[in-house]
């Protein structure tokens, strides 16, 4: 199986272009687990397929490291956008990408040599609360309470096509993200599990961010999580409509425009290409 590997702020994936490579099987959850294994596979946060699309210029499907399929992935989208432009799948700097959560608009920003320097993605409109995120606990509305790690956490439920629990903390570095995030991610109140974000407000246009991703654990970055966090904080009046998000892997620029659409801008990088012997 021919593959390439890319990362966006350290959130790294194994990619396969299905138009150029014949996949060895159709059991993609198992394949995702195997290629993600850092000791016996390639090592990654998951598997992303770049596919043809009937409704967009290019398609994308993503499986997390544990084999569960995700609806979308902001960092993965930026990598797919760079791949699609630099490998000739599209010939314009503005194009569309189909995900399980729907079709999104992408724009690549080029350097003087014509290479992709930054990618902007329209992540759509955030939806909030227990009507938007699968939840079966006692609370209703936008904010819910969860017991985890011997303490109670209050989080805003946000859907960016995939589910998020955004909780405000004083200092993100004081949180045991792996322990607490893992407990919330798999809490019985979330029947489809949930991405967990811990955020601290530095200024109205700057926040710190840590994440426990559903199906992948602690990662360096999460694009949909950054979008969910900014929208949740903006809704509470804690930040403005354009915010720099500081993630473990680097920074993202998140902008909420007048029509409610959330635009994410950040980098995407090549790592390697090769052959995986499945």
* Active-site residue, from 73, 79, 227, 272: 73
The answer to whether 135 and 88 have CB atoms below 8 angstroms apart is no
Q: Is 222 a catalytic residue?
A: yes
Choose among 243, 267, 226: nearest CA to 123. Answer: 226
Look at the block and give the residue holding tokens 């599990």: 193
Q: Give yes or no for a contact between 268 and 6, defined as CB atoms under 8 angstroms apart.
A: yes
- Beta bridge partners, 164, equal 158, 195
Read off the DSSP letter of residue 176: -
On whether the CB atoms of residues 43 and 25 are closer than 8 A, the answer is no
User: Among this protein's residues, is 73 annotated catalytic?
Assistant: yes
- Name residue 269's beta-bridge partners: 7
Catalytically annotated residue among 79, 222, 227, 272: 222
**Total residues found in the chain within this entry:** 278
Q: What is the DSSP string of 178-201?
A: IIIIHHHHT-TT-TT--EEEEEEE
Rg (Cα) of the chain, in Å, rounded?
Answer: 18
Q: How many whole angstroms separate alpha carbon 255 and alpha carbon 244? A: 9
- Other beta carbons within 10 Å of 1: 16
Catalytic residues: 73, 222
């Amino acid at each position: 199986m021919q593959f390439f590997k890319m990362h966006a702020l350290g959130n790294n994936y194994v990619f396969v272009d299905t138009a150029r490579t014949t996949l060895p099987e159709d059991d993609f959850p198992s394949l995702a687990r195997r290629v993600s294994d850092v000791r016996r596979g390639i090592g990654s946060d998951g598997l992303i397929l770049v596919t043809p699309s009937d409704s967009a210029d290019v398609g994308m499907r993503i499986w997390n490291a544990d084999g569960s399929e995700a609806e979308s992935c902001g960092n993965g989208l930026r990598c797919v956008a760079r791949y699609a432009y630099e490998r000739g799948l599209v010939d314009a700097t503005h194009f569309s990408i189909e995900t399980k959560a729907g079709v999104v608009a992408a724009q690549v920003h080029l350097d003087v040599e014509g290479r992709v320097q930054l990618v902007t993605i329209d992540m759509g409109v955030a939806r909030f609360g227990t009507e938007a995120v699968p939840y079966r606990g006692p609370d209703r509305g936008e904010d819910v309470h969860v017991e985890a790690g011997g303490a109670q956490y209050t989080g805003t439920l946000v859907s960016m096509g995939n589910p998020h629990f955004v909780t405000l903390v004083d200092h993100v570095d004081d949180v045991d993200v792996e322990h607490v995030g893992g407990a919330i991610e798999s809490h019985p109140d979330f029947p489809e599990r949930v991405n967990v974000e811990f955020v601290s407000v530095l200024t109205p246009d700057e926040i710190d961010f840590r994440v426990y991703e559903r199906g992948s654990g602690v990662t360096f970055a999460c694009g949909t999580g950054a979008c969910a966090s900014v929208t949740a904080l903006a809704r509470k009046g804690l930040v403005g409509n354009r915010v720099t998000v500081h993630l473990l892997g680097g920074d993202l620029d998140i902008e909420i425009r007048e029509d409610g659409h959330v635009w994410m801008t950040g980098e995407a990088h090549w790592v390697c290409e090769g052959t995986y012997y499945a």
